[in-house]
């Protein structure tokens, strides 16, 4: 079975400081892993994805994540936070062996960016 | 670029009433997914359709039904509404033939917020 655990429900940072959103996954198969972002009253937007190529994945808006199989982690980072990064972030896993596309979401991390 | 269109964006219903949500996928996308996100919760998979046939089923109540039509749009029908059905309902689409679904590249609409009073 697939699942993800987001270790922090809320993260607060000051603008210009680094962002770290933590995610651990559990998967019976080789997983595909994603980070989605949700701004208030908006749909979910794909930030980045890992599907077995390079373990360090670069996404949009300066975000990146590193797949660490030994630690079953896929933490999301950004060197310098911007006010516009304030949103809800979801770590997501999908069974790569499935073509059905079902995604399993973590509980989300609310990122607050202080000026 | 065209995105996933959902309607209505907001809907208010009374208990035991019926509601219908509509989803128009991105052109040439052949797969539609429905997710339910309760207040403060993560999105939960309800059901999906590929080429107008149900392809996967998640935690969808028996009171709910859905279908995908010949033009690929999908409708989620909810009957005997309960207070607990109040949630944001997301539709997403993907192009399965390109293998995008297996890569998890779903494109989400902005959601339909259902409030049951």
For A11-30, the pLDDT digits (tens) are: 999 999 999 999 999 877 77
Minimum Cα–Cα distance from A6: chain B residue = B42
Q: What are φ and ψ of residue A97, in 5° steps? A: -75, -5
For B30-60, the pLDDT digits (tens) are: 889 999 999 888 889 999 998 889 988 998 9
For A26-62, the pLDDT digits (tens) are: 877 778 899 999 998 788 899 999 887 788 999 999 9
What is the rounded CA–CA span in Å between residue A32 and residue A25?
A: 10
Closest by alpha carbon to A107, among B38, B60, B103? B38
Closest by alpha carbon to A31, among A45, A52, A16? A52
Inter-chain CB proximity B42 and A90 less than 8 Å: yes
User: What is the strand order of the sheet B74-78 is part of?
Assistant: B5-7, B19-24, B74-78, B64-68
Q: Which residues have CB under 8 Å from B72's CB, separation 6+?
A: B25, B29, B30, B32, B52
Inter-chain CB proximity B58 and A102 less than 8 Å: yes
């Amino acid at each position: 079975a697939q699942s993800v655990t987001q270790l922090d429900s809320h993260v607060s940072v000051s603008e210009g400081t680094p962002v770290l959103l933590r995610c651990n996954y559990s998967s019976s198969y080789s997983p595909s892993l994603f980070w989605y972002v949700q701004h208030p009253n908006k749909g979910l937007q794909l930030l980045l994805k890992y599907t077995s190529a390079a373990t360090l994945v670069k996404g949009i808006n300066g975000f990146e994540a590193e797949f660490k199989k030994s630690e079953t982690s896929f933490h999301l980072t950004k060197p310098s936070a911007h006010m516009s990064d304030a949103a809800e972030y979801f770590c997501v896993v999908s069974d790569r062996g499935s073509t059905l596309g079902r995604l399993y979401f973590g509980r989300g991390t609310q990122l607050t960016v202080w000026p | 670029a065209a995105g996933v269109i959902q309607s209505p964006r907001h809907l208010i219903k009374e208990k035991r009433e019926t509601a219908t949500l509509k989803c128009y996928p991105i052109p040439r996308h052949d797969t539609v997914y429905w997710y339910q996100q309760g207040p403060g919760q993560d999105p939960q998979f309800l059901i999906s359709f590929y080429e107008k046939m149900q392809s996967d089923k998640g935690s969808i109540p028996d009171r709910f039904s859905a279908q995908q039509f010949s033009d690929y749009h999908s409708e989620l029908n909810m009957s005997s509404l309960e207070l607990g059905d109040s949630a944001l309902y997301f539709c997403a689409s993907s192009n399965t033939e390109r293998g995008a679904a297996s890569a998890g590249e779903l494109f989400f609409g902005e959601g339909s917020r259902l409030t049951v009073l």
